[in-house]
Amino acid sequence: MTTRSGFIGLAGRPNVGKSTLVNALVGHHVAIVSMRPQTTRRAIRGVATDLEAERQLVLVDLPGVQRPRDALTKRMQQRVERELADSDVALLVINGEEGVGPGDRFIAGLLKAARTDIPVICAVNKCDRLARGGTVKALSDAAGLPGVDEVFPVSARAGTGLGELLHRLGELVPEGPYMYPPEDSSDQSSELLLAELIREQVLNRTRQEIPHSVEVKVQSVEPRDDGLVTVIAEIWAETESQKGILIGRGGAKIGEIGTAARHSLERELGAQVHLDLQVRVRRNWRRDEDMLDRLGIE
């Protein structure tokens, strides 16, 4: 049997569950998840290899499609377009609870306009929260989107419908050798993955504009002889007032973030972690092209 492998570009409106779906399909926490829109800033590749089926799917979790408003969001949007141009299959993700809206129609049109030669599969997410009538309507509306070839009802959180979706995606990618070692679950460096896990806890514990103004940079990861891993990281804010919010009264907020982040890092590293978190002000980092280069946001 010949192996199959290919890139699956996930597109959709912000906050429809793309990152949760990537994690579920890969079976590993490779993309951070938050109720905040615009969580994903980079094109995160999750690698789902099934040795028995002899297929490898490289799932590219793209930033939500949006209108660029600064250097950061401009780069995010350009990355969406580049990754989709290189994909073997486009996977449009829709929030079944909200139904098909103008944004979904716009993105579906973009997919076919950009690449008329690749299949477009639509995953209607969160179907576990819908009554049967609501699911039928959501699937029917999704099937009517321009360029959509097939529709699958799924629930990324509950895990329903994922097997059928994986099987179909595996049929659609071309024959060829695996692009990543079968044991890999992501193409991210360890430092970037740890930084994203820390940022995930910031997103889940702050409000208003703080989440969009924050970046995390891991300075070092040092395993010790006794098995403890020391992680030193900085949380960047754009203003002193944002820094104050992140630290909180008497250091309460940064302590809360640090405790939750440490648990996430320990699950990822399989070891006890000492996390040293500092909050720094980096003014206008989202508009600084050199800074975005150093952060690896292409």
Mean pLDDT of 74-101: 80
Report the run of H or E that residue 60 belongs to, with start and end: strand 55-61
Query: 120-129 pLDDT, tens per residue?
Result: 999 999 998 8
Average pLDDT, the chain: 84
Domain ranges within the chain, ordered by starting residue: 4-172, 190-295
The encoded tokens of residue 42 equal 């980079």
Q: Is residue 80 predicted with pLDDT exceeding 80? A: no
Q: 121 or 291, which is more confident?
A: 121
Q: Is residue 43 predicted with pLDDT exceeding 70? A: no
The pLDDT-based confidence of 243 (bands split at 50, 70, 90) is: very high
Q: Is residue 261 predicted with pLDDT exceeding 80? A: yes
Check for a shared fold between 4-172 and 190-295: no
DSSP alpha helices (H): ranges in the chain?
18-26, 71-85, 102-114, 132-143, 162-172, 190-204, 210-213, 240-247, 252-269, 289-295
Q: What is the distance between the alpha carbons of residues 16 and 172, in angstroms, rounded to a whole number?
A: 23
Q: Is residue 60 predicted with pLDDT exceeding 80? A: yes
Number of alpha carbons in the 13 Å side-chain half-sphere of residue 170: 20
Residue 32 has a pLDDT of 67
Q: What is the distance between the alpha carbons of residues 217 and 3, in angstroms, rounded to a whole number?
A: 38
Residue 71 has a pLDDT of 62
Residue 73 has a pLDDT of 57
pTM of structure: 0.72
Q: Could you tell me which CATH class the domain 190-295 is placed in?
A: alpha beta
Mean pLDDT of 291-298: 53
Q: 39 or 186, which is more confident?
A: 186
Cβ count near 238 (within 10 Å): 20
Residue 54 has a pLDDT of 95
Q: Is residue 41 predicted with pLDDT exceeding 60? A: no
Residue 53 has φ and ψ, to the nearest 5°, of -80, -10
CA distances from 17 to 27, 30, 56, 71, 205 (A): 15, 14, 22, 25, 19
The encoded tokens of residue 238 equal 């754009």
Q: Out of 3.40.190.10, 3.30.300.30, 3.30.450.20, 3.40.50.300, select the CATH number for domain 4-172.
A: 3.40.50.300
The pLDDT-based confidence of 227 (bands split at 50, 70, 90) is: very high
CB 210, CB 245: distance < 8 Å: yes
Mean pLDDT of 3-12: 92
The encoded tokens of residue 171 equal 């049929």
| The three-state (H, E, C) secondary structure of 221-290, written as one string | EEECCCCCEEEEEEEEECCHHHHHHHHCHHHHHHHHHHHHHHHHHHHHHCCCEEEEEEEEECCCHHHCHH
Mean pLDDT of 165-178: 96
Residue 148 has a pLDDT of 93
The pLDDT-based confidence of 50 (bands split at 50, 70, 90) is: very high
